[in-house]
Structures are given as C-alpha cells and as structure tokens.
Structure 1
Amino acid sequence: MEEQIQKKPEYANILTRFGAILIDGLIMIPFYIPIFVIMPMLEEGVEPPMFALIVFFATILGAIVFGIWNTIVRMGKTGQSLGRKFLNIAVLSGDLQPIGVGSAALREIIGRWISGMVCYIGYLNAFWDKDNQMWHDKMASCFVYYVEENYS
C-alpha cells in the first residue's frame, strides 16, 4: 500500500486575503440598500410607514444573521467564507482542518478587533510574518492557505 503524503499548501498573501474581505463586503450590499433608504426618514423626524420600519429592522436582522453565517459558521465548518471560496483560499488549522465555529468566532470578533486596535498593526503583521499570519490568525491558531478550486 502506497503512503500518500499530503503537501502543505502555500500561504495566501495579504492582497488575496484583502480581496476576499472585499468580496464578502460587496455581498452584503443588498442588505444595506433598504437601510440607507429608510435611515434618512428616521433622522428627519418623518414617520415612515410601518412597512418601511418592518423592512428596516428585518434587513438589519438579515444582515447580522447572514454575516454570522458567512464569516463564523460557514468559515468555521468549511474554512471558507463566500469571498474566500471565490478566491480559493481557506482558513485552516495547522493540520489543514477547518478551525471550527468557536475558533472562527474568536478570530472574527475578538481577534479582528485586537488586530485593528493599534493602527491596524495586527493586520500589517502579515507583511513580515513568515507564515503570513495576522494577529487574529495567531489568536485562533490558524493559517490562511491557497486551496484547490473544488475545496469544500
């Protein structure tokens, strides 16, 4: 029986990682449109129709639920948000497995906040780190790799 040796994939560079975040942000635009249409009515003191308020709050709730699903649940289970999937990169543990929902939540909520806290130095860390890790990657003990197109 031949032993199959799995080659470690290449670390994703910072520009590809930024592109994935940008795509994830663009995917959220449909959620923002109703918010930006209704928000001026609320600020001007005009009482919007009840339907507009329902759409406003449903859109906010939908954006939160979708954002959590895409960046925490989906990424925790598969290693990829939709933006990462599009650019063929994945957030994986050192043994090339998805990091799990708990570690994804730590990485995305607390880790990203800490990475950006002091002049975004935690994000810039990827420029000089040998593994292209940002601080939030280190907190969650994960790496961002290029993966095959049909991954997950």
Structure 2
Amino acid sequence: MSYPNNPYGQQPQQPQQPGYGYQPQPAPGQGAPQPAYGAPQPAYGAPQPGYGAPQQPYGAPQQPYGAPQSGYGAPQPPYGGQPGYGAPMPAYADWGHRAGAYLIDALMFALPAVILQVLAGSIGTEKVVCTTSTTVRCTGGGYSGLGMFLLLLAFVAGIGGMAFLAHREGTTGQTPGKKILGIRTIRESDGQLLGFGTAFGRKLAHIADALPCYVGFLWPLWDAKKQTFADKIVGSIVVKA
C-alpha cells in the first residue's frame, strides 16, 4: 500500500516503544528527579537519600582519627613500668645508698680479682738470688709462670665482673648492690634504661671520678641531681626504685 504524501515510498515509522526495562522519564529538562534510582527502598528497612541528595559531606567534622578513645590511642602505662614521657621522675638516690651499692658490688665482683693479684705477688714470684764475687749480682724476683697465670685470671675476673655489672645495670637498671638497696640507674633525658653500651661506658667513665683525688665519687653530696662525673658524661641519674 502506498501513500500519496510520501514521495520516496517509505513507510511511516511507528512511535518507538520503550525497550525492555526502560522506565518512562519526564520530557522537560535533563537531570529531572528519577524516582527509580536512589528512591527510598523498603528492602533495607529505612529511607535512604537519593543519588546526589544532601548527605554527610566527605570532609565533615566527625570523630577525629587520633582522638582518644577506648583502646587505640588511650594513654597506657609504658613498657616495663618505666616512667613515660611527661611522667614525673622518681626521687634521686642519696649518696649513702649509692656508696653502699658500690661496696656490695665491689665485694662480689672486684674482690676476687684483688685476691688473685695478691696471690700472684706472694706465691707467683721467683726468688731473688744474689751472687757476690767482686760485685753483688741479683737475679729473679719477677713473676713466675704461676704468677703470670694468676695475673691473667685477675684481669679476666675484673673485666668479666665489670661487663656483668654493666649488663645488669643497662638492661634492668640495677646491679646486685643497687637491687639490694632499692635504687636504679636510668637515662636523665627520658627515664629509660641505659642499655649495655652506655652502661659499660659509664663504668669506664668512673676514671674521671677517680682522677681528681676521687672527688667525682663525692660529687653527689652537693650536686643538685646527685650525679658523679661519670653520670654527667653519659647522661644518667640514679633514682629510688
């Protein structure tokens, strides 16, 4: 069948039907509200704002990330029971307790080395033999093989004892003497333990305490922080445990 008004013989097209799943949309204006997308859905049980509707902005104030809350971020006691940053330092240990702890440690670890040195000098020396002809000539008098061995043991005992005390003081804050008298050694800057290296250096720094007539060992008697010269060198303090 032909139509007189169609010169090319084309069939007039029928209005397009909406495709499968297509929802009719209002003609006026692009971006008109679409009830199908983002509308309140009863499946979740509560109305939800539509797509693009005002909602909580991305950067709106909310619970800050680092705000204190239970668990994460809450103040906790420092590891090992050491005073944390900002915590008050314990009271300084008096000179009497420090001297008493030093004597206890010396009796336990330095005395064996001293005894070995005495033995090396008494039974580990060669006898002096003097001969006379025209002149007096004496030989011997030095350390024998036994004496040299005893001196070596004394050296090992002294270094080993100092290393053990440094290890205990650096890792626990207390030598056996300090533990008995209830004091400990910590860093002045933050109240933490010295560590083995600093504690061993502190032992060596006691040479500075002994050089000026042992006045460095007496310095805590009038020092505000009750420090010896060795304490000032490595930045340590001795406090009550």
Note the residue ranges of structure 2 that are not aligned, 5 or more in a row. 1-69, 78-83, 128-140
Shift of 1:11: 0.5
Largest Rg, 1 or 2: 2
* Partner residue, 1:114: 208
Please give the per-residue CA displacement for 1:82-105, whole angstroms capped at 9, x wherever unaligned: 111111111101322111122112
* Contact 2:112 2:154 (C-alpha < 8 Å) held by counterparts: no
Q: Counterpart amino acid of 2:168?
A: R
2:150 is the counterpart of 1:69: no
Change (3 A) 1:66 1:122: closer
TM-score, structure 1 normalization: 0.77
Please give the per-residue CA displacement for 1:28-61, whole angstroms capped at 9, x wherever unaligned: 33444344334312234398786x8656633542
In 1, Cα distance between equivalents of 2:148 and 2:213: 37
In 2, Cα distance between equivalents of 1:133 and 1:53: 38
In 2, Cα distance between equivalents of 1:75 and 1:27: 15
Change (3 A) 1:93 1:57: same
* Partner residue, 2:98: 17
Q: Which has a greater percent of helix?
A: 1
Change (3 A) 1:139 1:53: closer
Please give the per-residue CA displacement for 1:52-91, whole angstroms capped at 9, x wherever unaligned: 8656633542332122211x22211111111111111111
TM-score, structure 2 normalization: 0.51
In 2, Cα distance between equivalents of 1:81 and 1:126: 19
Within the candidate set 86, 93, 112, 2:180 is matched to 86
Structure with the bigger RCO (C-alpha within 8 Å, sep 6+) is 1
Percent sequence identity over aligned pairs: 27
1:3-152 matches, cutoff 5 A? 6-28=87-109, 29-45=111-127, 57-70=152-165, 72-94=166-188, 95-109=190-204, 111-147=205-241
Note the residue ranges of structure 1 that are not aligned, 5 or more in a row. 148-152
